[in-house]
């Protein structure tokens, strides 16, 4: 359905009731006790953020001197959507059957992929969605792929153990999932893994991929990884990248 009003993609702003009204809903918590003063503090803070006509539409006492707010306001700024360029894995992704056929025709052996949630990260939902046989959202995981030996080491795996397993199994690729990102702990952990692989002389011999809700392809490459996959990625995306990299880098 076409827009009744034509959108200017060089000046995009939030949409609420009418095009370009700039209406935004946001929520946050302040370390102040519930009351009229707290609501005014939230309103003033929203105004300082650059919102016109800010209004506190909901406030809840969280106890022990904290209050949660929902605030409405009008955003005055715009972005040029046509000028946005986001680095990402740029390739035509294959489905499971196509990946299996690609392995059979081009690699002619099992592809070994080792994955884990490393460091103190205990959240396995991401790595399980990619690796476990049942996969996620109707997309089977790597364990289901013919021609792929998927080894899921689970959570809270030290980088040393992940590298040792990769060496033991002669892994073609290492997958790292990072969900816990408070205080950028994932940055230090991901960086350490790259440094350890380089110290072992293994970095160029393995395909290194990371993923998680705050992982982008750009960030992954900045940290020394071959690719990064964020939310909305499935096993076939990772598998396509890995098998094509094996062939392109002549790691067969």
Cβ burial of 97 (10 Å; 0-12, 13-18, 19+) is exposed
* Cα–Cα distances in angstroms (integers) from residue 149 to residues 74, 126, 131, 142, in the given order: 52, 18, 10, 8
Distance CA 115, CA 58 (A): 43
Task: Kindly give, in sequence order, each residue whose CB lies less than 8 Å from that of residue 205, ignoring residues fewer than 6 positions away.
Answer: 251
Distance CA 165, CA 149 (A): 13
Q: Is 134 a catalytic residue?
A: yes
**Among 11, 60, 88, 134, the one annotated catalytic:** 134
Distance CA 76, CA 124 (A): 40
- CA atoms lying within 13 Å on the CB side of residue 39: 10
- What radius of gyration, in Å, describes the C-alpha atoms of the chain? 23
Give me the phi and psi of 237, to 5 degrees please. Answer: -65, -50
Distance CA 224, CA 82 (A): 29
Distance CA 88, CA 61 (A): 42
Q: Which residues are catalytic?
A: 134
């Amino acid at each position: 359905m076409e827009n009744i009003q034509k959108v200017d993609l060089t000046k995009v702003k939030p949409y609420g009731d009418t095009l370009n009204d700039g209406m935004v809903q946001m929520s946050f918590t302040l370390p102040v006790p519930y009351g009229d003063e707290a609501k005014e503090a939230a309103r003033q803070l929203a105004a300082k953020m650059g919102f016109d006509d800010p209004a506190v539409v909901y406030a809840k006492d969280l106890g022990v001197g904290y209050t949660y707010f929902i605030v409405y306001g009008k955003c005055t700024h715009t972005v040029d959507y046509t000028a946005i360029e986001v680095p990402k894995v740029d390739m035509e992704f294959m489905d499971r059957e196509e990946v299996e056929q690609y392995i059979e025709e081009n690699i002619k052996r099992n592809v070994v992929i080792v994955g884990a949630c490393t460091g103190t990260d205990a959240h396995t939902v991401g790595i399980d969605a990619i690796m476990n046989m049942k996969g996620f959202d109707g997309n089977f995981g790597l364990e289901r792929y013919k021609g792929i030996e998927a080894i899921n080491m689970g959570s809270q795996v030290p980088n040393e153990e992940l590298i040792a397993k990769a060496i033991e199994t002669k892994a073609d690729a290492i997958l790292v999932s990072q969900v816990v990102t408070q205080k950028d702990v994932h940055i230090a952990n991901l960086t350490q893994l790259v440094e350890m692989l380089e110290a072992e002389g293994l970095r160029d011999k393995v395909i290194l991929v990371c993923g998680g809700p705050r992982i982008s392809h750009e960030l992954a490459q900045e940290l020394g990884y071959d690719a990064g996959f964020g939310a909305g990625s499935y096993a076939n995306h990772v598998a396509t990248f890995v098998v094509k990299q094996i062939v392109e880098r002549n790691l067969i």
